[in-house]
Amino acid sequence: MNRLQLLATLLWILCRQGLHGSPTDGLTVPHDRIPLVIPQSTKPLDRPRFLAEPILDLTTHCDEECVKREAGLSPQDFQEYLSYETVYANGSRTLTTVGLQGVSSSNATAGAWSRKRTRRHVRHKRHIYGTDGRFSITGKRFLLDFPFSTTVKISTGCTGILVSERHVLTAAHCVHDGKEYVKGARRIKVGFLVPHNSRNLTQPDRLVMRWARVKRTQVPKGWIRGPSDLSMDYDYSLLELRKPHDHPFMKLTVAPPVEDMAGKRIHFSGFDSDRPGELVYRFCGVEDESAHLIYQHCDARPGASGSGIYGKVWDSGKKRWERKVIGIFSGHQWLEVDGEQQDYNVAVRFTAMKYAQVCYWINGNYKHCQNE
Ligand SMILES: *[C@@H]1O[C@H](CO)[C@@H](O)[C@H](O)[C@H]1NC(C)=O
Ligand SMILES: *[C@@H]1O[C@H](CO)[C@@H](O)[C@H](O)[C@H]1NC(C)=O
Ligand SMILES: *[C@@H]1O[C@H](CO)[C@@H](O)[C@H](O)[C@H]1NC(C)=O
């Protein structure tokens, strides 16, 4: 495909996404179901050493035991996992414990395991499924405009998404390997694509990366408790910029089931490592979902870790479909079902509890996080 065809295809996709009917029934997560995540105590911890090597290609494994363990988690477990560490630019670190309100039973986690028994015997790990379905976005008009302009680069080698004037969501493994903060996490920076400010008329369309400093980084304990088959459920981290940016951002929401999203598709764009300097966009259907993870075969390469997964979600207040962030692209998982291993690319879903936690990180008042 030449560039023009690519652009035409892209436009076609973008237009098609606009054509949906209204949802058929009460689709969005009822607002009264969002629990309260209440900070309880904050205590100082030792300064991290920032010695771990960044994980560029996270791979996990989950078998039926792991599925069972996840289904059996209690509110106490969630309370533990939703507690979090905060690391400041001066290298100091705190641990904040949280309490939960509005989480009634262990069934808080029970999400449908709608496993489709596809008869594929894939035994080797793949990043690209069939024909590479990724689009490199070119041209200022797209790159500097919503939704692509919400994509930012993370200096540790990942991607992130702007979710407020000051906040960027990325994957936890981009700053912490499960045991230790990674090299580069202390002076982590966020890269924005901006027009190149020069009078060189031979390159009027050139964009450059402008790096912004981060004031603090927050990581849930669910990730920090060490690499385990369930820690991928908490592979997200929030970065707060020192100064507000002036780019459009995309709001976060509780992930609805994929059936309730326009086109039953997810989308994300990132800085895939095999296409240096390019913003790479892709979309795909969802193959499987658990309460915490979205299993899909969207083509992706390691640099795309931390990309914001978004979909068009029905906004019942505004009575229209809106693109909202529903998850974070994590990595790769072998899922063992009935003795058969399947490989998937995996995104973390923002459950109501995770939404409540990140919402509190963003706006600092947990009482304002009961509505989306
Ligand atoms: C580091 O910064 C944080 C937040 O600004 C502050 O609360 C803390 O006291 C500072 N620690 C040191 C050792 O300066
Ligand atoms: C939790 O789920 C199990 C199995 O689906 C069900 O039998 C049980 O009644 C549920 N408990 C509550 C409190 O909803
Ligand atoms: C403008 O950019 C082109 C291509 O990179 C370069 O060859 C040329 O020297 C530049 N001109 C000036 C005046 O900087």
Q: What is the CA radius of gyration of the chain?
A: 20
Query: Alpha-carbon distance 89 to 221, whole Å?
Result: 20
CA distance 281 to 271: 9
Contact call for residues 372 and 248 (beta carbons, < 8 A): no
For residue 220, give its domain range.
3-369
Number of domains in the chain: 1
Residues counted in the chain = 372
What's the pLDDT band for 14 if we cut at 50, 70, 90?
A: low
CATH of the domain at 101: 2.40.10.10
Query: Rounded distance, CA 90 to CA 107, Å?
Result: 41
> Which of 12-21, 135-144, 176-185, 325-334 has the lowest average pLDDT?
12-21
Tell me the average pLDDT of the chain. Answer: 85
Amino acid at 51: L
pLDDT at 4: 54
Is the pLDDT score of 25 beyond 70?
Answer: no
For 181-191, what is the mean pLDDT? 96
SS3 of 228-256: CCCHHHHCCEEEEECCCCCCCCCCECCCC
Binding site membership of 94 for ligand 1 (Cβ less than 6 Å): no
CA of 200 to the centre of ligand 3 (A): 6
Nearest CA to ligand 2 atom 10: 107
pLDDT at 106: 43
Closest ligand 2 atom number to CA of residue 104:
13
338: three-class secondary structure by DSSP: coil
pTM of the full predicted structure?
A: 0.85
- pLDDT for 27 equals 34
The whole-number pLDDT of residue 103 equals: 78
Q: Is 173 a catalytic residue?
A: yes
Q: Which token pair is 343?
A: 């490989």
pLDDT at 182: 96
**310: β partners:** 267, 325
| Residue 239 Cα to chain centre, angstroms | 13
Q: What is d(CA 78, CA 80) in angstroms, rounded to the nearest whole number?
A: 5
Catalytic pick from 229, 247, 273, 315? 229
Mean pLDDT, to the nearest integer, of 124-149? 83
Per-residue pLDDT, averaged over 277-299, amounts to: 92
Q: Which one is catalytic: 127, 167, 173, 267?
A: 173
In degrees, to the nearest 5, what angle opens at C-alpha 309 toward C-alphas 308 and 311? Answer: 130
For the residues 191-206, what does the mean pLDDT come to? 78
5: confidence class by pLDDT, cuts 50, 70, 90: low
Strand partners, 182: 52
Q: What is the dihedral of CA 162, 138, 204, 147, to 10 degrees?
A: -30
Span 69-89, pLDDT tens digits: 888 888 888 999 999 999 999
105 lines ligand 2 (CB under 6 A): yes
Least confident of 79-83, 164-168, 196-200: 196-200
Q: Does ligand 1 lie within 6 Å of residue 148's CB atom? A: no
DSSP state of 108: G
Residue 20 has pLDDT above 50, yes or no: no
Ligand 3 close to Cβ of residue 203 (< 6 A) = yes
Cα–Cα distance between 23 and 32 in angstroms, integer?
20
Which DSSP letter does residue 117 get?
Answer: -
Please tell me the predicted confidence (pLDDT) of residue 7.
Answer: 59
What pLDDT sits at residue 70? 82
Structure confidence at residue 12 (pLDDT): 54
- Residues 224-236 have a mean pLDDT of 82
Query: What is the Cα 103 distance to its own chain's centre?
Result: 23
200 lines ligand 3 (CB under 6 A): yes
Confidence band, pLDDT 50/70/90 cuts, at residue 9? low
